[in-house]
Amino acid sequence: MKTNKTKIMGVLNANEDSFFKNSRFSESQAITRIEALITDKADIIDIGAVSSRPGSIPVKPEIELQRVKNIVDSIYEQKLYEKAIFSIDSYEPLVIDYVLNKGFKIVNDITGLQNEEVIKLTAKYNATAVIMHMQNDPKTMQESPTYKNVILEVEEFLKQQTQKAESFGLKDIILDVGIGFGKTLEHNLLLLKNLEHFKYMGYELLIGASRKSMIDKIVTSSIEQRLPGTLAIHLESINKGASIIRCHDVKEHYQAIKVQEAINTQEEIR
């Protein structure tokens, strides 16, 4: 099986309730931030306008589009899509249709393509879909999540959704086991430890554990203090087969990944 180049997906939130305040940007700040992410070596820039933190409330699609529209228009007008790949963190057809028509290439769907309209739109534009696993929805996902076997249940969901997506003609798929989305600390750790299990499916694997509360459950820490734990999770995930890392701290991840790659290119002396 081929090894995919590790890609860094930088996060930009166009909403006021994202859990990490340093990832929130207004329209006026957004383009400056995007240019900085590109300078810091982000391969992909993932833009979202609705928080998916535990307990968050969904907003109307029209409001979501209103939040990202001017940013998306500026990206298109300035041809920034020629400098990085742009991804939309959304599951709303109204929003997805608008951005795919403006140079965006990835649909990052936390609901795992449960809406067939999203599959059809992504296929229509020959875009890539990220299929993520989540138990329940953001409002209720952390209310006592339970599994008989988290590995097998996540695998079954991803397998089912990839088959469905391909039946609609969607060709480019990325899988995300959904760290922190309807999982306890133990569930998250099991998925990370067994990430290689999902490689047989033949798709790129994305991991996004940036500054998440699982780190606080291991070592008590505020959101601002969780960069070291984030890097530990993400570097280990790369060793286990992940090739796309979604993070808030692109510059730090780039350095850490380059050092890891330099070590891994050396031969072992036996």
* Domain annotation covers residue 269: no
* Domain annotation covers residue 58: yes
Distance between alpha carbon 133 and the CA centroid of its chain, in Å? 11
Interval 224-253 mean pLDDT: 98
Is 139 among the residues known to form the active site? no
Whether 225 shows a pLDDT value over 60: the answer reads yes
* From 183, 212, 226, 240, the catalytic residue: 212
Is 212 among the residues known to form the active site? yes
* Domain annotation covers residue 192: yes
Q: Which residues contact 66 (CB under 8 A, 6 or more apart)?
A: none
User: What is the pLDDT at residue 139?
Assistant: 66
What confidence category does residue 138 fall into, taking pLDDT thresholds of 50, 70 and 90?
low
Whether 26 shows a pLDDT value over 80: the answer reads no
The CB-side HSE value for 212 (13 A sphere, CA atoms) comes to 25
Percent of the chain with pLDDT over 90: 82
Whether 3 shows a pLDDT value over 60: the answer reads yes
User: What is the pLDDT at residue 19?
Assistant: 45
- Which CATH number characterizes residue 127's domain? 3.20.20.20
Q: Which residues contact 178 (CB under 8 A, 6 or more apart)?
A: 110, 132, 133, 134, 154
Query: Helix 150-167 and helix 185-193: axis angle, to 10°?
Result: 70
Q: Are 245 and 235 in contact (CB under 8 A)?
A: no
Whole-number mean pLDDT of the chain? 92
* Domain annotation covers residue 1: no
Domain count, the chain: 1
* Domain annotation covers residue 46: yes
What confidence category does residue 51 fall into, taking pLDDT thresholds of 50, 70 and 90?
confident
Interval 56-76 mean pLDDT: 90
The CB-side HSE value for 127 (13 A sphere, CA atoms) comes to 28
Q: Which domain holds residue 249?
A: 7-264
Interval 214-221 mean pLDDT: 98
* Domain annotation covers residue 230: yes
* From 246, 251, 258, 270, the catalytic residue: 246
* Alpha-carbon distance values, 242 to 21, 176, 207 (Å): 26, 9, 7
* Domain annotation covers residue 270: no
User: What is the pLDDT at residue 144?
Assistant: 75
* Domain annotation covers residue 155: yes
What confidence category does residue 29 fall into, taking pLDDT thresholds of 50, 70 and 90?
confident
Strands 172-176 and 7-13: unpaired
Interval 129-144 mean pLDDT: 80
